[in-house]
Amino acid sequence: MELKEIRMSKKISVPQLVELTGISRRTIQDIEKRGDCLVSNAKKLAKALDVSLDVLCADDE
């Protein structure tokens, strides 16, 4: 998952993403660290970052 890279490229802080998605700070940090999340959270993140799920969930391996 490319969450951190996309978030940083769009100059959105974790606290801003919390406000945009309603997902807790800890959960966002865990997603950035682990690279996976619930589909429901992925949808919220993709919408907030204005990217498709395919882009958000791209596997960089």
Yes or no: say if 55 and 18 are a contact pair by the CB < 8 Å rule: no
One digit per residue, the tens of pLDDT, for the chain of length 61 reads 899 999 999 999 999 999 999 999 999 999 999 999 999 999 999 999 999 999 999 876 5
Yes or no: say if 6 and 49 are a contact pair by the CB < 8 Å rule: yes
pLDDT at 1: 87
| Topology adopted by domain 3-56 | 434 Repressor (Amino-terminal Domain) (1.10.260)
- Report the predicted TM-score, pTM, of the whole model to 2 decimal places: 0.92
SS3 content of the chain, % helix, strand, coil (to 5): 65, 0, 35
pLDDT at 60: 60
Question: Strands, E, within the chain: which ranges?
Answer: none
